[in-house]
Amino acid sequence: MCGIVGYVGKKEALPVLLQGLRDLEYRGYDSAGIAVLNQGKIFRVREVGKVDNLVNKLKGKTLEGSVGIAHTRWATHGGVTEKNAHPHFGSSSLGEPEVEGKLALVHNGIIENYREIKKQLKDQNFSSETDSEVLAKLIYENYEGDLVKAVKKSLPRVRGTYGVAVMHQDNPNLIVAARLGSPLVVGMGQNEYYLASDVTPMLPYTKRVSYLDDGEVAEISTAGVKISNLKDEVVKKDITRIEWDKEQAQKNGFPSFMLKEIFDQPIVFEDAIRGRFNMQEGTAILGGLNMTEEEKRDVKRVVIVAEGTARHAGLIAKYAFERLANLPCEVDSSSEFRYRDPVVNESTLVFAISQSGETVDTLLAIREAKRKGAKVRGVVNVVGSTIARETGAGTYIHAGPELSVASTKAFTNMVTVLLLYALEFGRIKQTSPATGQRLLQALLEIPEKMHSILKQSEQIKEIAKVYAKYQSIIFIGRGVNFPVALEGALKLKEISYIHAEGMSGGELKHGPLALVSKDLPVIAVLTQDQLYEKMKSSVAEVKARGARTLIIANEGDEEVRDLADEIIYVPKTMELLEPLLNTIPLQLFAYHMAVILGKDVDRPRNLAKSVTVE
């Protein structure tokens, strides 16, 4: 994931910026660059690979100056090359490429309509393949002596996400930063100011920070920091005092990345849906599909290939594609897909789902599907990853860096993006605008509902203490909650090493019921959907055989009390959206179990974050 650092003050900017880049290395990146403004000139150095490579390239160069911006890039538009690395110049470099820029910009995020903006620019001389250079040129073209005005004039034209920092050679002590979706923090020193994607780079210098919110623009100069919105209204910001050390800061104060990432979900969910709703038409706008209306109508079947948690997200999407779009949908483990002569052709749309974008089984499945003529699209988190590049089209889930091995926030965002795809096809095929609008409205209510579940973390911890003594646990669910049960079991086994099995409630009687006794507890996802009554019967069956039961139920549901030893209540939502909520208590349950059992939650034994071997 890209990282931004900026400095305005009295010190030499270069060492501050380089250390800042190192502090952001944990986010992952493939190239780095730096620009310093000095005596009306911007000097820039960029290099592919590690920050060390950039440092080597800087040897022998003098980049003096006390204002600068720097960036670690994780490729999105365009390959991993020096030319595509940031900072980008807004003016064409006709002379010495490292010093000719009048305006320099670093950008995190994705500008979805960059092609459209690119066509409208006067200067058609591009030195990179990036969306970010287009934004740099747009701001440069709008510049009439006031950098803040130029930024504010340009940003409303952008569709997508950004955390952006800009400097102009004629504004010697100024960085202008703005945020929509990609985080930015301003650090307040003594007549010096810091800017970064998170607080880690500024911790050695200041503990006082202000977080930019979406739609805000910060004017950071030696005279101070002024924050306003795109309507030019001044925004009064609170200053937060950070008491964390570097590692705690990377974890945003949580004891582990996994817990941080579970709690990130309401925030990153907003990133997954931002700009992707057409409320009036009751549909989604996911430009990444890259298909004409006719091509969309020609899709006869959807196939989803993925592994592990990503496959569970796919299994949920199957219900949505079938229900909303009447499209047959098959979900396969990518490792099986490739070796079983899959029947796919030109009318099949294959979605490859992957957090890392590097899972080799999924990559090979994509190649097989392409070879057979299918249309392949990616639903990927890591921008610029191999799967994102090989699919060439698709949608980023915008979950942000997921560092814990166990996948959590990527799961909810995968489900969200796939639901939006299902809705888009649904509206073309059979779903009414009213149903579409209801679904979009229900999605808007999800973050608040997620918060109300996260608030129960301590209570879930108490419940986990009761279950920590068992050797094995069964998870059951039906309909869209069947994959939720699979995901709950996977989370538990991978981080607590307790044997867990997820299954459909309907499957119990066909064998697994033989296992059930007072020594084998059952966790049931029993929210009030169309299979509620059937699920209640399944829970009654296990209860009758002495099993301890933990039930995930809807708030206000008193009927489940007789069936449950423990209950975790979740808010009600539309049935297709239930997994977005019902999975969260299971993530927290697995997390607390693992902590209680003394396991390393972020790095479970035998597992890797990205599986790049078959």
> Applying CB under 6 A, which residues contact ligand F6R?
307-310, 354-356, 359, 362, 406-407, 490, 494, 610-611
Measured from the CB atom, the residue of 407 and 573 that comes closer to ligand F6R is 407
Contact 576, 439 (CB under 8 A): yes
In the block, tokens 């301003």 appear at 186
Least separation in angstroms between residue 135's CB and ligand F6R is 29
Closest approach of ligand F6R to the CB of residue 353, in Å: 7
> Which is the catalytic residue, given 2, 329, 375, 493?
2
Question: Based on CB atoms, which residue is closest to ligand F6R, 528 or 610?
Answer: 610
Q: Do the Cβ atoms of 416 and 443 come closer than 8 Å?
A: yes
**Closest approach of Cβ 357 to ligand F6R, in Å?**
7
Nearer to ligand F6R, 250 or 354 (CB): 354
Burial (CB < 10 A; 0-12, 13-18, 19+), residue 390, is middle
Using a 10 angstrom Cβ sphere, with 0-12 exposed, 13-18 middle and 19 or more buried, the burial of residue 294 is: exposed
For residue 136, give the nearest of 181, 68, 101, 89 by alpha carbon.
89
Give min distance, CB of 487 to ligand F6R, in A. Answer: 8
Least spacing, CB of residue 251 vs ligand F6R, in Å: 18
Nearer to ligand F6R, 493 or 548 (CB): 493
Other beta carbons within 10 angstroms of residue 300's beta carbon come to 12
- Residue number with CB closer to ligand F6R (105 or 379): 379
Cβ(195)–Cβ(168) below 8 Å: no
Cβ contacts of 147 within 8 Å, gap of 6 or more: 103, 139, 166, 167, 168, 171, 174, 176
SS3 content of the chain, % helix, strand, coil (to 5): 40, 25, 40
Query: Tokens 């991978």 label which residue?
Result: 494
Catalytic residue among 83, 226, 461, 609: 609
Question: How would you class 252 by CB atoms within 10 Å of its CB: exposed for 0-12, middle for 13-18, buried for 19 or more?
Answer: middle
Shortest-Cβ-distance residue relative to ligand F6R: 308
Q: Which two tokens stand for residue 16?
A: 């501050």
Do 521 and 470 contact (CB within 8 A), yes or no? yes
* 31 versus 355: smaller Cβ distance to ligand F6R: 355
Of 47 and 368, the one with the shorter C-beta distance to ligand F6R is 368
Identity of the residue, 20 or 483, whose beta carbon is nearer to ligand F6R in the bound complex? 483
Question: Is the Cβ of residue 285 or residue 611 nearer to ligand F6R in the bound state?
Answer: 611
> Least distance (Å) from ligand F6R to the CB of residue 340?
19
CB of 551 to ligand F6R, least distance (A): 23
The stretches of 301-445 forming alpha helices (DSSP H) are 308-325, 334-337, 360-371, 386-391, 409-429, 433-444
Rounded to a whole number of angstroms, the minimum distance from the CB of residue 591 to ligand F6R is: 12
Helix/strand/coil for 224: strand
Question: Tokens standing for 387?
Answer: 């799967």
What phi and psi values does residue 372 have, to the nearest 5 degrees? -90, 5
Helix (H) or strand (E) holding 37: strand 31-38
In sequence order, the 6+-apart residues with CB closer than 8 A to the CB of 30 are 48, 49, 73, 74, 75, 80, 384
Q: How many CA atoms are closer than 13 Å to the CA of 388, on its beta-carbon side?
A: 20
Closest CA to 488 of 530, 523, 453: 523
CB of 358 to ligand F6R, least distance (A): 7
Distance separating alpha carbons of residues 8 and 239, to the nearest angstrom: 18
Cα–Cα distances (Å) from 476 to 225, 415, 589, in that order, read 53, 19, 15
- Active site annotation includes 329: no
d(CA 267, CA 252): 13
Residue 206 contacts by C-beta under 8 Å, 6 or more apart in sequence?
Answer: 187, 188, 189, 194
Shortest CB 455 distance to ligand F6R, Å: 24
CB-wise, 365 or 581, nearer to ligand F6R? 365
Distance in Å, CB of 397 to ligand F6R, minimum: 10
Q: Is 609 a catalytic residue?
A: yes
CB 180 within 8 A of CB 215: yes
Q: Which residue has the tokens 């050695």?
A: 204
Q: Which is nearer to ligand F6R, 463 or 586 (CB)?
A: 586
Known catalytic residues are 2, 609
